[in-house]
């Protein structure tokens, strides 16, 4: 194994440390030690023995420190955490695809994973899922209890514990297998649902799992396509091109001479999915009904259904084939984007055959340089192709890690993997443009209304806090010029607002945000001067204009003669009020229905005062805690009784006495917590 280059650099490593919330990052390379201190975005510290090969390499490592980009850019980088230190062991930064394949870290031993061996029962899977879930709940409980922090509670200690919990989740996800690996990847884009520390850890989740044998691949292809392999294909490479959690990809040649790739689904995957999803439904129902998690207003069963739908679509290769065809059709006039053709006669729900279109991964900077490709143009084209997908087609690639886009001669972009695509229909696109207008107007009420219309808000009884949070967000976001904003940063702010509030960003939007923030990272690597807003503005304006034209044409129909100024003013007012006016019938209808429900007694009026809520909760906790005191009293009475009745037998007396003592101490501790900090806890 040849060592090609080493990417290091104080800033990059320090950024990595800061990103991971550590004071120090520590890397080993060929026996040399690299160490740098970190803060969230940049760091200072000592650096010893750094064999940095070039300035570009150092810059690359900076980008690697950006959230999400790390795992995607360098597959060989496998950070490990030991006693609060992040240790990164890697041999080389890969220079091109072939060397990358040769240098890939060895796949984990198949025997290590129970799920890879198959033959699981519902009971076995349910036990495995619940034992992991139970441990996570327990650890999470401890994180929320301030008295469990030795030496006193602090926000840093809590954050460190959350990161440890994230590491535990990541490791267990690999043990639980494909369903959970995919779920982990979905949740790595959902900082609106999980704490940031956990989401950051999930972003490290590697999709690399043991490949299964070629004998099984052959069997599966023959079963699915109902012909012997040699009749179907002239040649199939027994070494997979890629092995991911759901399937593996093999190069092959048809008898016509066409070069293709065959993606073959992991055997037994559907059954494993069904077992896991039924166990997960119970988990979602538990969370929904729990006072702590369901009480936050999160629709856990809804989140489960959203994930189950995405996962089920992804394992149906008919769906992937249809997506690829649609995507290809949409891009047919764009000469600089190429979508591989699907060979439907060689495809089923578990096997898909596609035209072989090899290229250089957009993240493989060294190989792009060697091929003499224009990185600036590539950065621009990736951004533009995404904007076209989202704003023009309303159909976009939702699994946007850089491994799924490569580049060929003439800076042509090749897309792979169409299992997960997002759709935005016309109404949603219009609502998004309205949202843009409301954001520019800093109209928080309208933004909240549009969020409800888009399904982003659920179970809202009290809109006040959400409107105020949105207003705060709007006041801050638009205080900076748009061109200085990054989609990633805007997304982070949005997620911050969404967490602990009764709304969730719909999966589709979280994919859009994730796609942009990952691509932003890659584009910055390709072209440090790249400004996403510059490419995006014309697309946004075009939509903006189209919407305005539509509204003006509606209003001009109502124009007559008379004093021009008055009419213009009237028209402008009408244009402004038009959406409201158009929605009047719906509103009247809604009022009617509401009154009807009130008459029927179907509506409960919820009136809330946060102050009384808090006092009531404290009161309830005091009463509950007093029950503990009663039990302790009964136990101590019992112990004295036992002592008398057993003629001074200490062993018989000790048990209730000890229990009374423990309960007594617990009562004191709770009382102290409730009285000391009743408002903060609520």
Ligand X SMILES: Nc1ncnc2c1ncn2[C@@H]1O[C@H](COP(=O)(O)OP(=O)(O)OP(=O)(O)O)[C@@H](O)[C@H]1O
Query: Can you tell me the distance from the alpha carbon of 464 to that of 83, in angstroms, rounded to the nearest whole number?
Result: 43
- In 3D space, the residue among 457, 421, 517 whose CA is nearest the CA of residue 189 turns out to be 517
Closest CB to ligand X among residues 9, 403: 403
> CB 419 → ligand X: shortest distance, Å?
5
Rounded least distance, CB 406 to ligand X, Å: 7
We find the least distance from the C-beta atom of residue 244 to ligand X, in angstroms, to be 3
Counting beta carbons within 10 angstroms of the beta carbon of residue 373, is it exposed (0 to 12), middle (13 to 18) or buried (19 or more)? buried
Distance, in Å, from the CA atom of 45 to the CA atom of 43, rounded to the nearest integer, reads: 7
**Is 399 a known active-site residue?**
yes
Q: Which residues bind ligand X (CB under 6 A)?
A: 207, 241-242, 244, 246-247, 249, 261, 263, 340, 354-358, 399, 403-404, 416-417, 419
Rounded distance between C-alpha atoms, residue 375 and residue 146, angstroms = 51
DSSP states along 399-443? ---GGGEEEEGGGEEEE---SSEEE--HHHHHHHHHHHHHHHTT-
Least distance (Å) from ligand X to the CB of residue 185?
8
266-269, long-range: CB < 8 A, 24+ apart: 266/178, 266/212, 267/118, 267/212, 267/216, 267/220, 268/118, 269/178, 269/315
CA atoms within 13 A on the CB side of 8: 25
**Cα(352)–Cα(665) distance, integer angstroms:** 64
d(CA 145, CA 153): 9
Residue number with CB closer to ligand X (247 or 488): 247
CA distance 627 to 660: 13
Closer residue to ligand X in complex, CB, 165/261: 261
Query: Which residue lies nearer to ligand X by CB, 58 or 420?
Result: 420
> At its nearest, how many Å lie between ligand X and the CB of residue 243?
8
Closer residue to ligand X (CB): 359 or 506: 359
3-state secondary structure of 256: coil
**Closest separation in Å from C-beta 392 to ligand X:** 24
- 8 A C-beta contact, residue 318 and residue 301: no
We find the least distance from the C-beta atom of residue 265 to ligand X, in angstroms, to be 8
Nearer CB in complex with ligand X: 247/521: 247
Nearer to ligand X, 93 or 209 (CB): 209
Cβ distance 525 to 365 under 8 Å? yes
Q: Where are the alpha helices (DSSP H) in 478-609?
A: 487-498, 507-526, 532-556, 564-582, 584-600
- Nearest approach in angstroms of CB 203 to ligand X is 14
Shortest spacing between CB 420 and ligand X, in angstroms: 8
3-class secondary structure, 88:
strand
Q: How far is the CB of 76 from ligand X (least distance, A)?
A: 15
Q: Under a CB-based contact definition with an 8 Å cutoff, are residues 169 and 136 in contact?
A: yes
Instruction: Write the DSSP string, 298-310.
Output: --HHHHHHHHHHH
Nearest by Cα to 16 from 60, 64, 75: 64
Closer residue to ligand X (CB): 360 or 391: 360
Task: Name which of 242 and 447 has its Cβ closer to ligand X.
Answer: 242
Closest to ligand X by CB, 334 or 355: 355
CA distance from start to end of the chain: 58
Q: Which residues contact 275 (CB under 8 A, 6 or more apart)?
A: 120, 122, 125, 126
| Catalytic pick among 399, 417, 434, 449 | 399
Give whole-number Cα distances, 618 to 96, 289, 615, in Å. Answer: 62, 22, 5
**Interhelix angle for 584-600 vs 564-582, to 10°?**
40
Residue (263 or 380) nearer to ligand X, CB: 263
The DSSP string of 445-481 is HHHHHHHHHTT-B-S-S--HHHHHHHHHHHHHHTTS-
Output phi, psi for 413, to 5 deg: -90, 135
CB within 8 A of 661, min separation 6: which ones? 632
Q: How many of the other CB atoms lie within 10 Å of CB of 432?
A: 20
Tell the smallest beta-carbon distance from residue 328 to ligand X (Å).
12
Distance CA 443, CA 214 (A): 59
Q: How many CB atoms lie within 10 A of CB 520?
A: 23
* Residues assigned a catalytic role: 399
């Amino acid at each position: 194994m040849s060592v090609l280059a080493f990417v290091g650099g104080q800033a990059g490593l320090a950024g990595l440390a800061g990103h991971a919330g550590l004071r120090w990052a520590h890397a080993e390379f060929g026996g040399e030690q690299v160490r740098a201190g970190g803060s969230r975005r940049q760091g200072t510290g000592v650096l010893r023995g750094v064999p940095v090969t070039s300035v570009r390499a150092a810059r690359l490592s900076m980008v690697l420190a950006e959230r999400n980009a790390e795992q995607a850019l360098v597959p060989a980088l496998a950070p490990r955490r030991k006693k609060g230190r992040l240790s990164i062991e890697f041999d080389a930064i890969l220079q091109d695809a072939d060397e990358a394949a040769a240098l890939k870290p060895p796949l984990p031993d198949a025997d290590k994973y129970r799920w890879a061996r198959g033959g699981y029962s519902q009971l076995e899977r349910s036990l495995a899922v619940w034992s992991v879930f139970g441990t996570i709940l327990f650890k999470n409980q401890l994180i929320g209890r301030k008295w469990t922090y030795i030496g006193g509670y602090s926000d840093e200690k809590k954050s460190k514990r959350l990161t440890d919990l994230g590491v535990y989740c990541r490791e267990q996800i690999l043990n639980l297998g494909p369903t959970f690996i995919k779920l982990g990847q979905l949740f790595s884009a959902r900082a609106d649902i999980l704490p940031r520390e956990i989401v950051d850890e999930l972003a490290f989740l590697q999709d690399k799992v043991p490949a299964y044998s070629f004998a099984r691949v052959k069997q599966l292809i023959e079963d699915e396509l109902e012909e012997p392999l040699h009749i179907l294909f002239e040649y199939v490479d027994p070494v997979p091109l890629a092995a991911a959690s759901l399937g593996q990809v093999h190069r092959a040649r048809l008898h016509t001479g066409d070069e293709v790739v065959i993606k073959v689904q992991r055997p037994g995957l559907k059954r494993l999915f069904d077992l896991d999803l039924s166990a997960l439904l119970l988990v979602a129902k538990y969370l929904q009904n729990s006072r702590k998690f369901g009480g936050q207003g999160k629709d856990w069963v809804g989140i489960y259904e959203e994930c189950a739908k995405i996962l089920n679509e992804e394992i149906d290769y008919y769906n992937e084939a249809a997506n690829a065809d649609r995507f290809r059709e949409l891009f047919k006039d764009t000469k600089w984007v190429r979508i591989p053709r699907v060979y439907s006669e060689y495809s089923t729900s578990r096997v898909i055959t596609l035209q072989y279109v090899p290229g250089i991964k957009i993240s493989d900077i060294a190989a792009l340089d060697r091929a003499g490709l224009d990185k600036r143009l590539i950065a621009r084209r990736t951004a533009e192709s995404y904007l076209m997908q989202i704003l023009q087609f309303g159909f976009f690639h939702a699994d946007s890690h850089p491994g799924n886009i490569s580049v060929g001669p003439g800076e042509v972009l090749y897309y792979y993997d169409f299992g997960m695509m997002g759709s935005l229909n016309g109404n949603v696109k219009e609502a998004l443009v309205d949202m843009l207008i409301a954001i520019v107007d800093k109209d928080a009420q309208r933004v909240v209304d549009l969020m409800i219309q888009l399904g982003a808000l659920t179970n809202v009884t009290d809109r006040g806090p959400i409107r105020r949070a949105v207003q705060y967000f709007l006041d801050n976001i638009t205080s900076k010029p748009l061109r200085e904003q990054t989609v990633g940063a805007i997304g982070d702010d949005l997620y911050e607002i969404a967490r602990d509030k009764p709304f969730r960003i719909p999966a589709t939007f979280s994919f859009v945000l994730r796609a942009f923030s990952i691509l932003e990272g890659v584009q910055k690597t390709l072209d440090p001067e790249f400004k996403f807003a510059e490419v995006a503005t014309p697309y946004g304006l075009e939509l903006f204009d189209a919407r305005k034209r539509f509204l003006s044409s509606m209003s001009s129909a109502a124009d007559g003669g008379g004093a021009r100024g008055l009419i213009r003013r009237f028209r402008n007012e009408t244009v402004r009020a038009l959406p409201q006016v158009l929605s009047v019938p719906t509103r009247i209808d809604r009022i009617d229905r509401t009154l009807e429900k009130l008459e029927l007694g179907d509506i409960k009026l919820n009136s809330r005062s946060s102050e009384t809520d808090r006092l009531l909760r404290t009161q309830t906790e005091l009463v509950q805690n007093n029950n503990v005191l009663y039990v302790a009293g009964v136990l101590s009475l019992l112990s004295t009784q036992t002592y008398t009745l057993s003629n001074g037998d200490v062993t018989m007396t000790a048990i209730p006495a000890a229990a009374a003592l423990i309960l007594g101490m617990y009562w004191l501790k709770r009382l102290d917590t409730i009285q000391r900090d009743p408002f903060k806890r609520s």
